[in-house]
């Protein structure tokens, strides 16, 4: 199978007894992102955005994701966010913390640009007959590095499924850093907090 594909695995035993058979579905490991199964609602898979090593620029500059064979197939695959929800009323927000290194911080005017994300729903999720269906696209997503919650999906914007996925086009994901910010040789990290809001 291919990465992320759901297959049915079975085993049958026989001998000096009545045979025993069992089968279950298994998902082929995704090499790019971990996939978990929340017991109720939550996040099945979340992306990590890595921009690699970038230069300090004299003007505001947008940096793309790093290109590496072990990171989304050198840009041939897209980062994604997959969620599970059980309520018909749901929405999604995201917020970005200020990027910091051991001794420095990038300004809160730093932005993570994710572009407009195609949204898909799933039918027969975790079954060999699983289908991914396009249902729409978000508005262009821009997160300022000031921990402000930004609406990604509005209440009841997408309905009819319990599993949804947002695909972030690899080449559209950018880190926008203001002019003359950052210190050479420092490693900066920030956290995206995704908030799945559900209600009756």
pLDDT tens for each residue of 20-67: 656 555 555 567 888 888 778 899 999 999 999 999 999 999 999 999
Contact 137, 118 (CB under 8 A): yes
Report the DSSP beta bridge partners of residue 20.
13
pLDDT value, residue 40:
80
Q: Are residues 11 and 93 in the same domain?
A: no
Do 20 and 45 lie in one domain? The reply is no
Rounded to an integer, the average pLDDT of 160-183 is 96
Does residue 79 contact residue 72 with C-beta atoms inside 8 Å? yes
Could you tell me the pTM of the whole model? Answer: 0.84
44 and 121 belong to one structural domain: yes
Are both 23 and 44 inside the same structural domain? no
Same domain, 24 and 49: no
Q: For 64, phi and psi rounded to 5 degrees? A: -85, 170
- The CA distance from 17 to 7, in Å, is 29
What is the structure's pLDDT at 127?
86
Q: How many independent structural domains does the chain possess? A: 2
Q: Do 190 and 136 reside in the same domain of the chain?
A: yes
Tens of pLDDT, residue by residue over 100-149, are 999 999 999 999 999 999 999 999 998 889 999 999 999 999 999 999 99
Residues 21 and 59 placed together within one structural domain of the fold: no
Q: Which tokens is 153 given?
A: 């999906």
25 & 46 share domain: no
Tell whether 1 and 43 lie within a shared domain.
no
What is the residue-averaged pLDDT of the chain?
A: 89
Do 98 and 187 belong together in one domain?
A: yes
Residue 12 structural domain = 1-30
End-to-end CA distance of the chain: 39
């Amino acid at each position: 199978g291919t990465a992320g594909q759901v297959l049915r695995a079975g085993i049958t035993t026989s001998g000096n007894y009545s045979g025993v058979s069992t089968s279950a579905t298994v998902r082929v490991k995704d090499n790019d992102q971990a996939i978990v199964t929340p017991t109720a609602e939550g996040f099945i898979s979340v992306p990590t955005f890595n921009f690699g090593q970038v230069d300090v620029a004299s003007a505001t500059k947008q940096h793309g994701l790093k290109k590496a064979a072990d990171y989304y197939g050198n840009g041939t695959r897209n980062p994604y966010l997959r969620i599970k929800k059980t309520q018909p009323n749901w929405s999604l927000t995201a917020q970005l913390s200020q990027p910091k290194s051991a001794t420095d911080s990038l300004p809160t005017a730093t932005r993570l640009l994710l572009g407009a994300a195609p949204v898909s729903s799933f039918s027969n999720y975790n079954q060999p007959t699983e289908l991914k269906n396009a249902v729409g696209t978000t508005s262009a997503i821009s997160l300022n590095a000031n921990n402000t919650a930004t609406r990604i999906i509005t209440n009841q914007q997408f309905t009819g499924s319990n599993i949804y996925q947002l695909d972030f086009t690899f080449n559209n994901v950018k880190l926008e850093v203001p002019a003359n910010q950052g210190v050479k040789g420092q490693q900066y990290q920030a956290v995206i907090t995704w908030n799945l809001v559900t209600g009756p």
